[in-house]
Structure 1
Amino acid sequence: MIISWTAGTVVIVVTVFTFLAFRIILYRQRLCFLGPIGLPIIGNILQIPHDRQWLKFDQWIRLYGDVVGLHVLGQPTLILGSAQAANETLDARGNIYSDRPVAVMAGELVGWNQGLGYSPGPHSHRFREFRRLFHRFIGPRSAQHPRILRMQEQAAANLLLKIMQEPTQFMSHVRQSTGAVILRLAYGYNVTKDQDEDPLVKIVEKAMQGFAKASEPGAFLVDYFPVLKHIPDWVPGAGFKRVAQLMRNDLERLYNVPFNFVKQSMKDGNVTPSFTSTYLEEKGTPTKEDEELIKAAAASLYSGGADTTPSSLASFILAMTLHPSVQARAQAEVDSVLGNSWKRLPTFSHRESLPYVSAIVLELLRWNPAVPLGLAHRLTQDDVYQGRLVPKGTIVWANICRTMLHDEKVFPDPTEFRPERFLDNNGKLRHLERHEDPSVIGFGFGRRICPGMFFADNSIFIAVVMMLYVFKISKARDDQGREIEPQIEYDGFISHPRPFECIVERRSAEAELLVRRECVRMV
């Protein structure tokens, strides 16, 4: 069938405006919170930037208060600008604030709605089963299992060796190291030495690229106008459907290839215990539904950590580049515990003796959290908050980074990297209330809080303390020998520092020998 571009455009325009008119009628109740004045019909959509939305939200919160009301194409939306507001809604009323908005591109068309991140609210059996699995395998107690801790220690040692071999590629190394440990945790799969050539790594990275692109706010018009998913593939402008199908194919390979690897390993009797194998052993004879659920759960485990932990580790390298005094103090603390004879690498057993290093981890989570807005929540029924109506279907964002974790009243000089803010007068970690604890706030709220938060915290700590012990990180220099000052610029919904230059060098020849010896011993 041949159709002109003009006719195709008419089809899309009529479809969009029919949908929009219906939505405005559906949400005719006014969201009674102050916020920026939008345009007729389309509301505030043109005022929301495509990237670093948390900066604009912070401006509005300072103008209108800690709860800001928006309308986006007829969709009522709240921005929460304080930990108190998030606690009183997302935490205290989690039974109605824990649904997810419909993610048409990433969720419905690509298929990520089968996993935890985009799954329906906590009243569904699927959601409860996901949470049970994650709690059992990487919950607060399970994450401290010696087998998992040892796995993380080995991954951190391997990261040191890779950075020693190619110090300028540190951004790539932290990502690959995190991916390798999650693949082992999820599937019992040991990545080959050359990760760029590993077949499973390629499958995973391809699927994750699709996940990131499909999840990007504003990247696809169908997320604003879900009715567009019904237009025929031949209509001009429907190219997003072909893109979605390619992404879906990549996701299905992520679901099936590592899962089949685990099943074959179990059949051969040489399986490495993992998230997937543990569940299959629990079920005995799993049904097709059981298998589909564990595929989605394991993929969720990977997607939840593969991009966030690398963000924190890249932030650590940036912070040490900019703050040599912080690095020196931390290294003095580590040296006082382990000595400088280079006989052993730090382990989790040293954590209680390293309060300043632990404070650095907290400050990393506060300074530039990996997910500055968290993931959106959605109300399942009408609510009244602060005496104002919050209609059913309202989307709620928590401005975690720029407002909550940069609240001047809680964190003086919030843009400064100051780990000592988490220490008491005796140099010990002080007790933190919920509203001042980045290791909690940085992972979300309510029943949607990240179930991998304890595993992630451990991964960040062990990599940080090992890098502090083995490396000296400093500013790069230009051709004239002048120091190059890195800029603190972050981009992306999962926020990463922009590429920057620095020098990462071993602290001694003995330190390098220690790393090489430990990497061989841990294999």
Structure 2
Amino acid sequence: MSRFSELAAAHPIVATLVTIAACLVTTFLVIQEIFAPVGKRRPPPGKTWKFPPGPRGIPIFGSLLALKDARDDPEHKMQNDLASYGEMTTVHLGSKTWVFLNTKRVVLEIIAKRGSLTNGRSPMPIASGIVSRNHRSLLLPPSGWTEKRRVMHSLLSGSALKQYGAWQELESTQMLAEYLFQPARWYRHHYRYANSVVHRIALGERLTKTGQELADLQDVVTLFVGSVGRSLVDWFPLLDRLPRALQPWRKHWERLGDWNEEVYRSWWIPTREKIVNGTAPPSWVRDVLLHPETKFTGDDREAMYVGLQLVEAGSDTTREALNIFAMAALCHPDKYRTARGEVDRICGGDNPRLPGLDDMERMPYVCAMIKELLRWRPIFPLVPEHELTADMEFEGYHFPAGVGFVINEIPVCNECEDPEDFEPERWLDGHETDAAHGLWQFGGGRRICVGYRLAFRGLFINVARLVFCYDYKAAGPYDSKRLNHHRTDEPFPVTVTPRSEEHVRLMMEEGARLDVLEDARNQL
């Protein structure tokens, strides 16, 4: 008889506890092996992996709990702590391994110069699969992203930017009038402007949606962004292979995906029907996406997601950037006055006029202010990871395919003197109008935001005009680090007033010339 058998016979309760403990340990070890992150899996024969240092995390989950807490931390403690490990930091998150890039140098080397290897995305069964029906190109791997990127590439052309510029100026004129008619809703005017411009570019018509329809689309964006990484399934994609009966979480996310698609369809179907019957005005959807010569290989549902993804992405980021502009006006009135002085020199004088997009090259300080807005309070503290599509060596490190590289935007944006100071002067380097030069808020490499030039021009026309025509003053206590982008009511207290009667006259005359005053009043 073995010693364990003797023990079991003499002490049956102890033996039972030992057996249970052994089973639990074995189960734990099996689970740990199944869900081991890329960076901790055994390399194939002849291969050796070497990673930068980073936090150890806890078994199985790694640093997931710390990342969860970081999502709503205005101080960005986790992101700053990771930068203390060096230029790169390895973090295990569930069964994924991310390498955080903490300096501009390594971002340039890995994301930009090695973009052919770092253009992948890791599987996200919830945010990309269920919520987005595997159709949002932002989260798709190259196999599902390349075709959608091909049809969106026309948005980067100079001719497109010129054509769309007239629409940006018109919608900006309406926004100035909306500010005048109801200044308390300044934050809603930002969203209306941004959505209307991209709606016209993508779908061909000026925005005629109700306030509820606009709110629904904004909620689609907010809830989609909130779904990214919110479920453990996105960090442990193997869970998606369980039988449906063992996936109780699916119902919640499927309801969100159904509602998302319902909102999309309410915007898409009227546009598609007009294209089919020949009554649609010029638009990107009519003239590029659904045009026979484009030969888009996706079906109608995929086309809908491509078109509406363009609308939602172009709406929300511009809204948030303009909110940051309002916060900067409160916190740094001296910089605001400097920008106003530049606009006054060009558009003031005996024959004052509103700034236009043709003034962009002559207003480097305003352009520098926009870049500083995005650096000072980055909209995206973390951008989606760039997954390696093949093994890669870099400066003594050996990374396997499947590792994700993430731009750690907080330390990258703070890689300058006095980072908490708002200093547009730091961007006066001859590249003021290039939104991607030295700034990574639009991503980088092959997956850089396809509309970043269009977005920058839209920010220019509005920042230049608002600086020229309006004054901002705090209407209550505020925290400059709490932008409250997720809110649909006023994100922080602001009083907006027109600069002078002369500027009111300019705005009203331009609004009448472009016939947008009635539309502006109807937004009340």
Q: Is the 8 A contact 1:254 1:299 kept in 2?
A: no
Task: Quote the offset at 1:100 in angstroms.
Answer: 0.6
Task: Quote the offset at 1:153 in angstroms.
Answer: 0.8
Q: Which residue of 2 aligns with 1:60?
A: 82
Q: Which residue of 2 aligns with 1:488?
A: 481
What pairs with 1:298-447 in structure 2 (closer than 5 Å)? Answer: 298-339=307-348, 344-400=353-409, 402-407=410-415, 411-423=416-428, 430-431=430-431, 437-438=437-438, 440-447=439-446
Q: Which runs of 5+ in 2 are unaligned?
A: 1-25, 43-48, 516-524
Task: Quote the offset at 1:139 in angstroms.
Answer: 0.2
| Correspondence 1:512 to 2:512 | no
Task: Quote the offset at 1:324 in angstroms.
Answer: 1.5
Query: How many positions carry a matched residue from both structures?
Result: 480
Q: Distance in 2 between matches of 1:41 and 1:285?
A: 46
What pairs with 1:47-196 in structure 2 (closer than 5 Å)? Answer: 47-48=66-67, 49-52=69-72, 54-62=76-84, 64-111=85-132, 113-121=134-142, 124=143, 126-136=144-154, 138-145=155-162, 147-192=163-208, 195-196=210-211
Moved over 4 A (4+): 14-20, 230-235, 284-288, 340-343, 431-436, 494-498
Pick the aligned partner of 1:43 from 22, 44, 62. 62
Task: Quote the offset at 1:435 in angstroms.
Answer: 12
User: Alignment partner of 1:106: what SS?
Assistant: helix
**One-letter code aligned to 2:220:** A
Q: Distance in 2 between matches of 1:91 and 1:495?
A: 34
Q: Is the 8 A contact 1:52 1:491 kept in 2?
A: no
Q: Distance in 1 between matches of 2:489 and 2:480?
A: 9
User: Alignment partner of 1:306: what SS?
Assistant: helix
**One-letter code aligned to 2:217:** V
Relative to structure 1, the CA distance from residue 42 to residue 286 in structure 2 (aligned partners, 3 Å threshold; closer, same or farther) is closer
User: Alignment partner of 2:170: what SS?
Assistant: helix
Q: Is the 8 A contact 2:96 2:235 kept in 1?
A: no
Q: Which residue of 2 aligns with 1:22?
A: 34
Relative to structure 1, the CA distance from residue 404 to residue 275 in structure 2 (aligned partners, 3 Å threshold; closer, same or farther) is same
Q: Which residue of 2 aligns with 1:4?
A: none
User: Alignment partner of 1:43: what SS?
Assistant: coil
Q: Which residue of 2 aligns with 1:214?
A: 227
Question: Please, what TM-score do these two structures have when normalized by structure 1?
Answer: 0.83
Question: Please, what TM-score do these two structures have when normalized by structure 2?
Answer: 0.83
What pairs with 1:271-286 in structure 2 (closer than 5 Å)? Answer: 271-279=280-288, 282-283=291-292
What pairs with 1:450-469 in structure 2 (closer than 5 Å)? Answer: 450-469=449-468
Task: Quote the offset at 1:462 in angstroms.
Answer: 0.6
**One-letter code aligned to 1:521:** R
User: Alignment partner of 1:517: what SS?
Assistant: helix
Q: Distance in 1 between matches of 2:452 and 2:326?
A: 21
Task: Quote the offset at 1:165 in angstroms.
Answer: 2.3
Structure index of larger Rg: 2
Deviations 1:195-223 (A, max 9, x none): 415x4x355334324312222x3x22222
Q: Which residue of 1 aligns with 2:522?
A: none
Relative to structure 1, the CA distance from residue 320 to residue 188 in structure 2 (aligned partners, 3 Å threshold; closer, same or farther) is same
User: Alignment partner of 2:92: what SS?
Assistant: strand
Relative to structure 1, the CA distance from residue 46 to residue 31 in structure 2 (aligned partners, 3 Å threshold; closer, same or farther) is farther
RMSD of Structure 2 on Structure 1 (CA): 3.2
Q: Is the 8 A contact 2:63 2:91 kept in 1?
A: yes
Q: Distance in 1 between matches of 2:364 and 2:151?
A: 32
Q: Is the 8 A contact 2:112 2:446 kept in 1?
A: yes
**One-letter code aligned to 1:89:** I
Task: Quote the offset at 1:28 in angstroms.
Answer: 1.8
Q: Which residue of 1 aligns with 2:474?
A: 475
Q: Distance in 2 between matches of 1:329 and 1:195?
A: 38
Q: Which residue of 2 aligns with 1:259?
A: 268
Relative to structure 1, the CA distance from residue 133 to residue 25 in structure 2 (aligned partners, 3 Å threshold; closer, same or farther) is closer
